[in-house]
Amino acid sequence: MKLAVNLENMLNNLGTLKTNEPLKKYTSFKTGGPAEYMIWPKDRSALKDIILICGDNSIDLTVLGGCSNLLVSDAGIKGIVVMMNSFHSKADIKLTEEGTVYSDSGVDKKDFLKFCVDSGFQGMEFIAGIFGCVGGGIAMNAGTADGAFAEILQSIEYMNSKGEIINKPVSSDMFGYRKLQMPGCSIILGGYFKLEKADNTVNIQSRINDILKERKSKHPLNYPSAGSVFKNPDGYSSWKLVDEAGLKGKSIGGARVSDLHTNFIINNSGATSEDILNLINEIKEVILNKYNIKMETEIRVLGDFF
């Protein structure tokens, strides 16, 4: 799709615009074709204009953060991809008068964690080692066995399809396992986090260091991946199912089931997104046939395949 010149000129004034930008430059899998249009909005007013342009002209709009939980088609993504990483070029994080932490969606999780430790909080340690931005963490309800975003969020600030900014208090029915239910076309701008004061931040930092050390020993961090590929089916552990089905090391093209953690697929060497999706489908089929269990992906699959 080629936008009319006037629309392209408008977009150029609303932020940093790239055309036919390869998404493999951004995804943690290091795969994925081009975004027809990719834009980093310069501010909230620009973001509103982009939403309205897409709505008025029936242009597909995709919102991305750190791109660490995505499998993007080799054919790329049509329409406009709005990049929320380092939104406003300098993403804001601060303590509020009410004692919550406010973070823009574009803040890197590492910086969020550091800010919270430096401010003397605890309860957010589970974020250590999870990649991407705060907005992506909220959208995915990212977490581990030790906690998830839903548990520390007080409210979510988002922009709706009319470009209105809404601050929505969090309720338990908004979140599920690695998912957040929001009205269609909601772009998360930031979140207010309610955290406990720590008695001793040295202990919190040392807990974070232990988590990072453990993850380093268990996860194939030397290879591109998007973390755990499958959600754990009720009562089962995905890595165990994949392992017991004999799929450790199974490869299709450049995609391979990690030998270190069998719920990770790694880009072993020059994988395409199609290789990765074929491997995902093969794993699903084997596990369905062997154990009659339907595997559901945790990673988000974007764009057209096949």
Binding site for ligand FAD (CB under 6 A): 28, 63-70, 84, 105, 130-133, 135-137, 139-140, 142-144, 178, 187-188, 219, 221, 225-227, 300
Q: Is 298 a catalytic residue?
A: yes
Query: Which residues lie below 8 Å from residue 206, measured CB to CB, with a gap of 6+?
Result: none
Shorter beta-carbon distance to ligand FAD: residue 286 or 300: 300
Q: Which residue from 108, 92, 110 is spatially nearest to 192, judged by alpha carbons?
A: 92
Q: Is 28 a catalytic residue?
A: no
Dihedral class, residue 101 (left if φ above 0, else alpha if ψ from -120 to 50, else beta): beta
Residue 130 C-beta: closest distance to ligand FAD, Å: 4
Between CA 65 and CA 88 the distance in angstroms is 13
Shorter beta-carbon distance to ligand FAD: residue 45 or 289: 45
Q: Is 164 a catalytic residue?
A: no
Residue 9 C-beta: closest distance to ligand FAD, Å: 26
Shorter beta-carbon distance to ligand FAD: residue 5 or 145: 145
Q: Which residue from 107, 151, 150 is spatially nearest to 132, judged by alpha carbons?
A: 107
Between CA 25 and CA 209 the distance in angstroms is 29
Residue pair 105/84 in contact (Cβ under 8 Å)? The answer is yes
Residue of 73, 157, 178, 186 marked catalytic: 178
Residue 124 C-beta: closest distance to ligand FAD, Å: 13
Residue 239 C-beta: closest distance to ligand FAD, Å: 12
Burial class (CB in 10 A: 0-12, 13-18, 19+), 41: buried
Angle at 142 between CA 23 and CA 232, to 5 degrees: 100
Residue of 28, 68, 186, 228 marked catalytic: 228
Q: Which positions are catalytic? A: 178, 228, 298
